[in-house]
């Protein structure tokens, strides 16, 4: 099935966290929190500005993002649990290959 979000909404697939801590302790499913990291599956065209023009989204399909614990609406499409949320609910994009920058 194809799904295309409208306006400034994005469709996100949660990225599952590790089942083991750095110390080697295995975390049971009942103790795990839902991950706040995900991958953008699809993005809408953007929101209309006050001038009537569409402001394109900064997010693209495939981006790894960080979002709030209670952000978005959970939906089930083709048996897969996904989240629909507005771009403004996303805190940032995780860039794995980018060099770290110092903050002054």
Give residue 17's pLDDT: 60
Question: Is residue 24 included in any domain, yes or no?
Answer: no
Model pTM score: 0.71
Question: Is residue 58 included in any domain, yes or no?
Answer: yes
Question: Is residue 72 included in any domain, yes or no?
Answer: yes
Task: Give me the number of domains the chain comprises.
Answer: 1
Tell me the CATH number at 90: 2.30.33.40
Question: Is residue 36 included in any domain, yes or no?
Answer: yes
pLDDT at 23 over 70: no
Angle at 80 between CA 74 and CA 84, to 5 degrees: 30
Question: Is residue 87 included in any domain, yes or no?
Answer: yes
Q: pLDDT tens across 38-80, in order?
A: 999 999 998 888 888 988 888 888 999 999 888 888 999 888 8
Question: Is residue 25 included in any domain, yes or no?
Answer: no
Question: Is residue 76 included in any domain, yes or no?
Answer: yes
Domain range for 57: 9-16+30-94
Question: Is residue 47 included in any domain, yes or no?
Answer: yes
């Amino acid at each position: 099935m194809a799904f295309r979000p409208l306006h400034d909404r994005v469709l996100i697939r949660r990225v599952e966290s590790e089942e083991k801590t750095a110390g080697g302790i295995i975390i049971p499913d009942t103790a795990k929190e839902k991950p706040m990291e995900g991958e953008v599956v699809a993005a809408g065209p953007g929101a209309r500005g006050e001038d009537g023009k569409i402001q394109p989204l900064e997010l693209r399909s495939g981006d790894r993002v960080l979002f709030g614990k209670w952000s978005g609406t959970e939906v089930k499409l083709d048996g897969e649990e996904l989240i629909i949320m507005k771009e403004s609910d996303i805190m940032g994009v995780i860039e794995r290959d980018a060099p770290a920058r110092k903050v002054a």
